[in-house]
Chains A and B, each alone.
Chain A
Amino acid sequence: DQQVKQNSPSLSVQEGRISILNCDYTNSMFDYFLWYKKYPAEGPTFLISISSIKDKNEDGRFTVFLNKSAKHLSLHIVPSQPGDSAVYFCAASYNAGNMLTFGGGTRLMVKP
Chain B
Amino acid sequence: ETGVTQSPTHLIKTRGQQVTLRCSSQSGHNTVSWYQQALGQGPQFIFQYYREEENGRGNFPPRFSGLQFPNYSSELNVNALELDDSALYLCASSRGQENEQFFGPGTRLTVL
Given the interface contacts A34-B99, A49-B99, A104-B41, does A97 sit within 8 Å of B31 by beta carbon? yes
- Whether the pair B44, A102 counts as a contact (CB closer than 8 A) is yes
Contact call B105/A105, Cβ cutoff below 8 A: no
- CB-defined contacts of B50 to chain A, threshold 8 Å: 97
Q: Using CB atoms, name the residue of chain B closest to A51.
A: B99
Contact with A along B86-104 (1 / 0, CB 8 A): 0000101010111111111
Known interface pairs A97-B98, A99-B48; A43-B58 also in contact (CB < 8 Å): no
Cβ distance A36 to chain B, nearest Cβ, rounded Å: 8
Does any Cβ of B come within 8 Å of A83's Cβ?
no
Is residue B66 within 8 Å, beta carbon to beta carbon, of the partner chain? no
B99 & A41 in contact (Cβ 8 Å cutoff) = no
A contact residues, range: 20 to 34
Interface pairs (26), CB distance under 8 Å: A36-B103, A43-B4, A43-B90, A43-B92, A43-B104, A43-B106, A44-B43, A49-B99, A49-B100, A89-B43, A96-B99, A97-B94, A98-B56, A99-B33, A99-B45, A99-B48, A99-B56, A99-B58, A100-B33, A100-B92, A100-B101, A102-B35, A102-B42, A103-B42, A104-B42, A105-B41
Binding site for B on A (CB under 8 A): 4, 6, 32, 34, 36, 41-46, 49, 89, 91, 93, 96-105
